[in-house]
């Protein structure tokens, strides 16, 4: 008889607790998805990069270099994280064409987001470059020149 009032709250506890735990589980699970399949890469790319480099990585004539089938992209994989974070100044050659517009940095983009962007670019529009891990991006970001 004394336990009865307590038991009345048990279904309530379960009914609220299970959905809440479920939501927590979903958030944790999503966070643990491997870097290579992070579907936010496209959205991040279109937010931070596509204005200049184009939705399909096509670039804009002699102003902004392409990222699709770009020899520069393939040859500078180790510099990409720092270039996305801190920008890029000075002339570069891409597929035999000179480019010289300053690229602004993105100081507020996280290592996770940078990883998603790089992996989206590396695997889109005919690009077939190996994906990178967030751990390797974080390591690169520690040793950016001037950063």
Partner 1 sequence: MTGIRFLWVALVAAMVGWSGCAEPQPSTRPPQNEPLKVLNLEPLPEFSFINQDSTPITEATVAGKVHVVDFFFTNCPTICPRMKANMLTVYEEFVSDDRVVLLSHAIDTRRDTVPVLKEYSERLEVSAPRWHFVTGEKDAILGIARDYKLAANEDSTAPGGFAHSGALILLDQKRDIRGYYSGVSEEETAEMIGDMKKLLAEDGE
Binding site for partner 1 (CB under 8 A): 12, 15-16, 19, 51-52, 54, 60-64, 100-102, 104
d(CA 45, CA 109): 11
**Smallest gap, in angstroms, from Cβ of residue 143 to partner 1?**
25
Question: 109 with 116: CB under 8 angstroms?
Answer: no
Nearer to partner 1, 56 or 74 (CB): 56
**Smallest gap, in angstroms, from Cβ of residue 119 to partner 1?**
23
HSE-up of 87 (CA within 13 Å, CB side)? 11
- The CA-based angle 35-72-116, given to 5 degrees, is 15
Alpha helices (H) in 49-144, listed in sequence order = 50-53, 71-75, 80-86, 111-122, 134-142
Nearer to partner 1, 52 or 129 (CB): 52
Nearer to partner 1, 34 or 104 (CB): 104
**Smallest gap, in angstroms, from Cβ of residue 54 to partner 1?**
8
Nearer to partner 1, 1 or 15 (CB): 15
**Smallest gap, in angstroms, from Cβ of residue 124 to partner 1?**
19
92: β partners: 99
């Amino acid at each position: 008889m004394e336990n009865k009032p307590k038991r009345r709250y048990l279904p309530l506890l379960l009914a609220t607790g299970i959905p809440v735990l479920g939501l927590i589980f979903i958030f944790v699970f999503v966070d643990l998805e491997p870097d290579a399949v992070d579907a936010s890469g496209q959205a991040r790319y279109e937010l931070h990069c596509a204005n200049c480099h184009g939705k399909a990585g096509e670039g804009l004539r002699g102003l902004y270099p392409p990222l699709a089938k770009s020899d520069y992209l393939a040859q500078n994989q180790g510099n990409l994280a720092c270039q996305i974070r801190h920008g890029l100044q000075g002339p570069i050659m891409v597929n035999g064409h000179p480019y010289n517009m300053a690229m602004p940095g993105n100081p507020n983009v996280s290592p996770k987001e940078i990883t998603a962007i790089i992996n989206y670019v590396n695997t889109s529009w005919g690009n077939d470059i190996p994906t990178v891990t967030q751990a390797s991006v974080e390591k690169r970001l520690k040793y950016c020149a001037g950063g």
